[in-house]
Amino acid sequence: MGIDLGTANTLVYVSGKGVVLEEPSVVAIDKEKGPRAVGLEAKKMLGRTPDNVVAIRPLRDGVIADFDTAELMLKHFIRRVHDGRNPLVRPRMVIGIPSGVTGVERRAVEEAAKEAGASEVYLIDEPVAAAIGAGLPVSEPTGNMIIDIGGGTTEVAVLSLDGTVLSESVRVAGDELSDSIMLYMKKVHNLVIGERTAEDIKIQLGSAYPTEEDEPIMEVRGLHLLSGLPRTVTIKAPEIRESMSEPLSVIIEAVKRTLERTPPELAADIIDRGIMLAGGGALLSGLDTLISHETGIVTHVASEPLSCVVLGTGRVLENFKDLERATNSYARYE
Ligand code: ADP
Ligand code: MG
């Protein structure tokens, strides 16, 4: 079993079957009765819960912000995938986790996986898994750069010979882009919108670089700040792009800093091969163009950016002898 424990989405890969589960990393908890929903059902409740129910994103900022809930969620997903199988068969698990997590958090993930029935747990750095899943030749002595833009963190890494040569993780990614839109709507349009609506705007209308076509518009519903009543406002693509410029520049700066620190031979490889973009944030329209423009290096979006990490864990599982090295930066727990 391969697992991508992401800040926004958790995906599970089963050997021989492929990706079998893809759910938001959200848990809804009833303060009196305990867990109420996990995954998509819980995400729908974000911002829509009565006082006694809270919808929690346990990994929100790229670290495990709420350990008990993270454990509960991981166990729930593993159990769901494992349902109906022989309980005596305990799977080997390869789990991708953000490279910034601490030793304590790592152990927490392992413990949770063990309790959920893993026989052996291997942790793999998310950028390494993402690069494998994106089809980069990570085992070769060639420099590859991968940028994984998730919900809570952006990870920029240079890889060679199955390992991370250098990496940088910033806590600015998809969530911050949505937050900026939320703030902008309030400040400029006097419209209060929720997290989900802000994400919809980002996905439908958001862009990082202007396109030549007629730029689209969109109608947004929210609460008018002054009258306190529901209202519909029409917004345009350029203003939304502008509203995201600050978090986008933080991401660009992280990429530039990493490039500056890259040893020259590997930098030459990256110029030849280009930069690979993964994670849901890679789907933001024009982000590849913006990065190419800012760095002067050709930038590609992986073919399935949301699945790169889990596909990478799957390849490690299925080619375990060849790729065990990729999990070697961590100790092995049995
Ligand atoms: P994580 O690895 O942290 O779980 P993901 O790789 O699943 O994160 O990416 C989730 C992020 O990608 C969210 O912030 C989401 O809003 C964003 N996202 C998903 N689809 C798109 C899209 N089409 N355009 C822009 N952002 C997107
Ligand atoms: Mg991720």
Range of the domain at 229: 174-243
Distances (CA, A) of 214 to 236, 238, 295: 11, 11, 27
Task: Classify residue 95: in a domain, yes or no.
Answer: yes
CB of residue 283 inside a 6 A radius of ligand 1: yes
Q: What DSSP designation does 270 have?
A: H
Q: Is there a single domain that holds both residue 269 and residue 292? A: yes
The rounded Å distance from CA 209 to ligand 2 centre is 23
Q: Is there a single domain that holds both residue 13 and residue 101? A: yes
Counted domains in the chain: 3
The CATH number linked to 224 is: 3.90.640.10
Q: Is there a single domain that holds both residue 97 and residue 237? A: no
The CATH number linked to 105 is: 3.30.420.40
Q: Is there a single domain that holds both residue 294 and residue 154? A: yes
The rounded Å distance from CA 234 to ligand 2 centre is 32
Task: Classify residue 90: in a domain, yes or no.
Answer: yes
Could you list which residues have their CB under 5 Å from ion ligand 2? 6, 150
pLDDT in tens, the chain (334 residues): 999 999 999 999 999 899 999 999 999 998 888 889 999 999 988 877 788 888 899 887 667 778 889 889 998 998 888 776 776 778 899 999 877 778 888 888 888 888 878 899 999 989 999 999 999 999 899 999 999 999 999 999 999 988 889 999 899 999 999 999 999 999 999 999 999 999 999 999 999 999 877 788 999 999 999 999 999 999 999 999 999 999 999 999 999 999 999 999 999 999 999 999 999 999 999 999 999 999 999 999 999 999 999 999 999 999 877 777 777 544 343 3
Query: Which listed ligand is nearest to 127 at the C-alpha?
Result: 2
The rounded Å distance from CA 256 to ligand 2 centre is 21
The model carries a pTM of 0.92
CB of residue 150 inside a 6 A radius of ligand 1: yes
Task: Classify residue 201: in a domain, yes or no.
Answer: yes
Task: Classify residue 133: in a domain, yes or no.
Answer: no
If you take atom 9 of ligand 1, which residue's CA is the nearest one? 280
The rounded Å distance from CA 280 to ligand 1 centre is 3
Does residue 95 contact residue 68 with C-beta atoms inside 8 Å?
A: no
Q: Is there a single domain that holds both residue 72 and residue 168? A: no
Closest among 171, 176, 194, 262 to 48, alpha carbons compared: 194
Query: Which listed ligand is nearest to 25 at the C-alpha?
Result: 1
Q: Is there a single domain that holds both residue 82 and residue 119? A: yes
Name the 3-class secondary structure at 276: strand
Q: What DSSP designation does 307 have?
A: G
If you take atom 19 of ligand 1, which residue's CA is the nearest one? 280
